[in-house]
Amino acid sequence: MVDLYPSRVKGNPSILERKDPVIHDSTEKDGPLSQQQLDDYEKNGYLFLPNLFSGEEVKVLQQELKRNMDQNKGSNEPHIVKESQSEEIRSVFDVHQNDEFFHRLSSENRIVHIAEQLLGSQVYINQSRINFKPGFKGKDFYWHSDFETWHMEDGMPNMRAVSCSIILTDNYHYNGPLLLIPGSHRYYVQCIGETPENHFEQSLKMQNIGVPDHDSVHWLLEKGGKIDSATGPAGSVLFFECNTMHGSNSNISPMPRSNVFFVFNSIKNQLVDPFANVSPRPEFIANRTNIKPIEPVAMDLTKKIIAAS
C-alpha cells in the first residue's frame, strides 16, 4: 500500500499538506451537528460541546470513573499504564471492550451519530482509554498528532478517524486540559527518528519518538494563531480530528483531570500493516480483530443496566 504520510525520517523533517478530506461529504442533514458546527470543525480540527451529558448523568460517569480506577489499582496488566516515577494510574486502555459501563457509553448515539456525520460512514472503535491525570502526580502528554503514531505504528491508512473525549472531572486551565493548535490538522508534520520495537512500553508514559520538532510546532502556531485549551465542566465532550496537533501539561493542582477517550475510525479505514518497520502494536491499543460497525443506542446513563433476564 502506498504510504501517503511517510514519517520517522532521518535528517530534516518536512511538513506535508493533508491529502484527505476533513469532513467526508456530510452536511447538517446527515447528523446532529449544524452546518456552523461542521464548518468550525473543518476549519479548526476540533469541536467542543459543553454539557452534552446532564448533571445527573455526570454523577453516574464519576461513580463509574472511580469504580474503574479502584478496580485497576495495583494491577500490572499491560493495558494499565502507570505514571513514570509513581504507582498512580496514567491510563486504562480498551475500556470499551473490558468494562461493561464504558462499553455501553461507547455506543451511545449522542456521540456515535456525531462521529458518523464527521467521518461520512459507519464507525467502529480503534482505541479507547481513560486518562486519569491525577492531582499533583498527573504527568504531561507532549505535543503530537495521534494520526502520525496510528499511521506509523498501527497502520491506519488515511486521516478518517476522530477522537471523542468525554470530560469526567471539570477541566480547568490549571489541571492539565487538552491544548490544541487550530488548523494544525491540515498539515502532516514528519517526525525525526527510527521507531524502537515495542515503542508503546515507553511512549504511553512519555512519548519522545513520533513528536514534532520545535520549528514545526512554531510554524503550526504561526499558521493557527493561538493555542486553544479544552476547558469546561464534566459532561462536556471534545471531538478532535485524528491529525490535530495537541498535548497537555502536567497537573500540579489538587484536582484530577480525568477524561475518557473513544477513537472512532471509519469502517472504511481499517488498519493495515504498520508503515514503520515494526510489529503491530497489541490489540488493547489498536483494535484489528472482529471489527464491526457500531449499532448506536439511545441511553439514559442514570438508568442502571438491567441484566438480561
**By beta-carbon distance, which residue lies closest to Fe ion?**
146
Q: Which three cell numbers stand for residue 165?
A: 473525549
Instruction: For strands 89-93 and 246-248, give the pairing.
Output: unpaired
* x/- letters, 269..288, toward ligand 6CS (CB under 6 A): ----------------x---
Instruction: For strands 141-144 and 246-248, give the pairing.
Output: antiparallel
Does 146 help bind ligand 6CS (rule: CB under 6 A)? yes
Crossing angle (nearest 10°) for helices 109-119 and 35-44: 70
CB of 97 to ligand 6CS, least distance (A): 15
Segment interacting with Fe ion, rule: CB under 5 A, options 22-30, 55-63, 123-131, 142-150:
142-150
Number of H helices and E strands in the chain, helices first, is 8, 13
* CB neighbours of residue 142 within 10 Å: 15
Q: Which CB atom, from 37 or from 248, has the smaller least distance to ligand 6CS? A: 248
Give the integer Cα–Cα distance in Å for 142 and 180. 11
Segment interacting with ligand 6CS, rule: CB under 6 A, options 20-28, 50-58, 140-148, 218-226:
140-148
What are residue 117's phi and psi, to 5 degrees?
Answer: -65, -45
Does 165 help bind ligand 6CS (rule: CB under 6 A)? no
Does 146 help bind Fe ion (rule: CB under 5 A)? yes
* CB neighbours of residue 35 within 10 Å: 11
Q: Which CB atom, from 94 or from 146, has the smaller least distance to Fe ion? A: 146
- Residue from 144, 151, 160, 186 binding ligand 6CS (CB under 6 A): 144
CB of 42 to ligand 6CS, least distance (A): 22
| Site residues (CB under 6 A) for ligand 6CS, limited to 191-230 | 203, 207
CB of 258 to ligand 6CS, least distance (A): 14
Closest CA to 47 of 134, 117, 101, 105: 117
DSSP letter assigned to residue 141? E
* CB neighbours of residue 233 within 10 Å: 15
| Contact of residue 96 among Fe ion, ligand 6CS, none (CB under 5-8 Å per partner type) | none
Q: Which CB atom, from 58 or from 156, has the smaller least distance to ligand 6CS? A: 156
| Site residues (CB under 6 A) for ligand 6CS, limited to 115-134 | 127, 129
| Contact of residue 203 among Fe ion, ligand 6CS, none (CB under 5-8 Å per partner type) | ligand 6CS
CB of 162 to ligand 6CS, least distance (A): 13
| Contact of residue 24 among Fe ion, ligand 6CS, none (CB under 5-8 Å per partner type) | none
Give the integer Cα–Cα distance in Å for 284 and 136. 27
- Residue from 141, 239, 240, 284 binding ligand 6CS (CB under 6 A): 141
Give the integer Cα–Cα distance in Å for 75 and 244. 32
CB of 261 to ligand 6CS, least distance (A): 7
| Degrees to nearest 5, angle at CA 96 with 90 and 100 | 105
Place of cell 438491567: 306
Neighbour-count burial of 153, counting CB atoms closer than 10 A to its CB (0-12 exposed, 13-18 middle, 19+ buried): buried
Give the integer Cα–Cα distance in Å for 71 and 284. 18
Give the integer Cα–Cα distance in Å for 89 and 74. 9
Q: Which CB atom, from 51 or from 250, has the smaller least distance to Fe ion? A: 250
In the complex, the residues that contact Fe ion under the rule CB under 5 A are: 146
Residues at the interface with ligand 6CS (CB under 6 A): 127, 129, 141, 144, 146, 149, 203, 207, 285
